[in-house]
Chains A and B, each alone.
Chain A
Amino acid sequence: MMPVRIIPRLDIKGPNLVKGIHLEGLRVLGDPIEFARYYYENGADELLYSDIVASLYQRNNILDLVTETSRRVFIPITVAGGLRTIEDIKKALRAGADKVCINTAAINNPDFVTQAVKVFGASTIVVALEVLRLPDGSLMAYTENGRQSSGVEAISWAKRVEDLGAGEILLTSINMEGTGGGYDMDLVRRVVSAVSIPVIVHGGAGTPEHVREVFSTSDASAVAVASIFHYHTKNLSAGINPIEGNLDFLKSGKRYSKITETSVVDLKQYLEKQGVACRLVI
């Protein structure tokens, strides 16, 4: 049995690792490189670095962090956020990324995906699918970190992404992201069964049980997890850069009530016990 992949997702703003609720209201958690090294040593299968402001302000400042990380961490690193051109992708790969994740540019210009796949290979190109479930139950793809509706229906877009040649889909439920309330399993199952490329599920995990549900009830290949790992790892936050972001949450010493904190290795051991194959030997 092919082991599932557990991928810590690191949302980056400026020099800091941050975490948002519904992609709003950012909290500073610490130095991303320290977190990345810890996750590597703790059995993470890949890392996902997401530049959460790049897409809005069209700047790239995450690449120095990627370079620094790739010198110390020898698992795949995917970079997301603000990648709009072939040159942007080239820069990210030259900085040490192994894969790139595109969203806004893919929806605005699907040919960009085809072109990127041709130049860099399907296995380098991940397309992000950020989905908002509307009150009438319809599923719509969003861009700009969930701020802008694309007017494109999510499941048909997932199929199109595969036809365009992308190697993987990173699926986020905007409704559930950051809530700790669990995954939108209906969405997960619909996207996973609609495509034949691997799907990385993201957005909503509050407990190890939520992660188990993904693998027990769908053919998803991986999960990207932020909160449950970051809050567990929060004591790495000593040397953080206070220039950007709101530190009140860290200073308060509070915990986020819906989140059951766990480490990567503990989560994997739990999943193994529940019959989900994981890579436990590092």
Chain B
Amino acid sequence: MRRVIIVDYNLGNIFSLKNACERVGLDVTVSADPVKIRGCHQLVLPGVGAFGVAVENLKQLDLIDPVIEHAKQGKPLVGICLGLQLLFSRSEEFGNNLGLDLIPGVVKRFPDVQDGEKLRIPHVGWNVLNRNASGSSDPLFFHLNEDPYAYFVHSYYVEPIDPSIITAVTEYHGFRFCAAIRKDNIVGMQFHPEKSGPKGLKMLANILNGVW
């Protein structure tokens, strides 16, 4: 069993994530200690909240460099929701905020109107992960026969410059956005696997139980 660290930078409910990881048998620690984070094998960057506040918290806790180094060493890094968005170059949230730039691309806000209809933001609820060709072979989705439902709650979505890293897209009243990515050792999920029922737990287990 490999050790997993959930980065605790004071945003969002990481306790749900910890509970879910424990449920699938992972040895998981919640930590904000740069030394521990540098020494671990797998890192999960969670998060719910504002992009700018998240980056600021990471800076103040001296966690930016450890996370970037971890990724650049080729060790598994998982970003969930805001944690995925933080890996991108920048976000349009409240002006322009710089992210960790591990994945070239931008974090954008959903449009207010789609096909002439009001798009309610945040996008909250269960929606389908439509796997593409690279997604169907991605370990994240092992043992999931159908495109699964997952729980989303977000106002912003990621737009990678290289679309080939996208493994699944989701449609919100006709607006298609990136729901999951894989770039080498980095996996990102816009949804919350820890809140997506048995299938979500399956995805967490797939990704953290060493299927890379």
Question: Are B122 and A98 neighbours in the complex by a CB distance under 8 Å?
Answer: no
Question: Are B118 and A196 neighbours in the complex by a CB distance under 8 Å?
Answer: yes
Contact among B12, B122, B126 for A198, CB-based, below 8 A: B122
Q: Quick check: is A275 within 8 A (CB to CB) of the other chain?
A: no
Name which of A106-114, A115-123, A223-231 contacts chain B.
A115-123
CB distance from B127 to the nearest CB of A (A): 6
Question: Are A167 and B19 neighbours in the complex by a CB distance under 8 Å?
Answer: no
Question: Are A196 and B15 neighbours in the complex by a CB distance under 8 Å?
Answer: no
Question: Are A122 and B15 neighbours in the complex by a CB distance under 8 Å?
Answer: no
Q: Which of A2, A70, A99, A198 has the most CB of B within 10 A?
A: A2
Q: Mark A163-174, 1 if CB is under 8 A from B, else 0.
A: 000011000000
Contact among A45, A94, A121 for B126, CB-based, below 8 A: A45
Complex CA distance for A247 and B101, rounded to whole angstroms: 59
Complex CA distance for A93 and B11, rounded to whole angstroms: 10
Contact among B48, B148, B151 for A121, CB-based, below 8 A: B48
Q: Quick check: is B76 within 8 A (CB to CB) of the other chain?
A: no
Q: Quick check: is A254 within 8 A (CB to CB) of the other chain?
A: no
Q: Quick check: is A10 within 8 A (CB to CB) of the other chain?
A: no
Question: Are B124 and A123 neighbours in the complex by a CB distance under 8 Å?
Answer: yes
Contact (A197, B197) CB under 8 Å given A2-B172, A123-B154: no
User: Which residue of chain A is the closest to B49 with respect to CB atoms?
Assistant: A121
Interface residues of A in 67-123 (CB under 8 A from B): 70-71, 74-76, 93-99, 118-123
Contact (A98, B16) CB under 8 Å given A74-B195, A121-B82: yes
Q: How many residues of B contact A (CB 8 A)?
A: 41
Q: Mark A241-282, 1 if CB is under 8 A from B, else 0.
A: 000000000000000000000000000000000000001011
Q: Quick check: is A218 within 8 A (CB to CB) of the other chain?
A: no
Q: Mark B1-35, 1 if CB is under 8 A from A, else 0.
A: 00000000001110110011001000000000000
Interface residues of B in 179-212 (CB under 8 A from A): 192, 194-201
> Please, which residues of chain A bring their CB within 8 A of the CB of B12?
93, 120-121, 124
Question: Are A74 and B200 neighbours in the complex by a CB distance under 8 Å?
Answer: yes
Question: Are A70 and B49 neighbours in the complex by a CB distance under 8 Å?
Answer: no
Question: Are B15 and A95 neighbours in the complex by a CB distance under 8 Å?
Answer: yes
Question: Are B16 and A96 neighbours in the complex by a CB distance under 8 Å?
Answer: yes
Contact (A98, B13) CB under 8 Å given A74-B23, A221-B125: yes
Question: Are A120 and B49 neighbours in the complex by a CB distance under 8 Å?
Answer: yes
Chain A binding surface, main DSSP class: loop
Complex CA distance for A167 and B155, rounded to whole angstroms: 9
CB distance from A214 to the nearest CB of B (A): 15
Contact (A96, B195) CB under 8 Å given A74-B201, A221-B120: no
Q: Quick check: is B177 within 8 A (CB to CB) of the other chain?
A: no
Question: Are B15 and A93 neighbours in the complex by a CB distance under 8 Å?
Answer: yes
Complex CA distance for A121 and B121, rounded to whole angstroms: 13
User: Which residue of chain A is the closest to B146 with respect to CB atoms?
Assistant: A281
Contact among A75, A97, A98 for B197, CB-based, below 8 A: A75
Complex CA distance for A98 and B127, rounded to whole angstroms: 18
Interface residues of A in 28-60 (CB under 8 A from B): 40, 45
Q: Quick check: is B149 within 8 A (CB to CB) of the other chain?
A: yes
| A interface residue numbers (CB < 8 A to B) | 1-5, 40, 45, 70-71, 74-76, 93-99, 118-124, 167-168, 196-198, 219, 221-222, 279, 281-282
| B interface residue numbers (CB < 8 A to A) | 11-13, 15-16, 19-20, 23, 48-50, 53, 82, 112, 118-122, 124-127, 146, 148-149, 151, 153-155, 172-173, 192, 194-201
Which are the 10 A-B pairs with shortest beta-carbon distances?
A121-B49, A123-B153, A279-B126, A93-B13, A121-B48, A76-B195, A123-B122, A5-B125, A198-B120, A198-B124
Known A-B contacts: A98-B13, A281-B149. Give 14 more (CB < 8 A): A1-B173, A3-B126, A40-B197, A99-B153, A118-B53, A120-B48, A122-B155, A167-B122, A196-B118, A197-B122, A221-B124, A279-B149, A281-B148, A282-B199
A–B complex contacts, Cβ < 8 Å, 27 sampled:
A2-B172, A5-B124, A40-B197, A74-B19, A74-B194, A74-B196, A74-B197, A74-B198, A75-B151, A75-B197, A76-B151, A76-B192, A94-B15, A96-B19, A98-B16, A119-B49, A119-B53, A120-B49, A121-B48, A123-B48, A124-B12, A124-B13, A198-B122, A279-B126, A281-B146, A282-B197, A282-B198
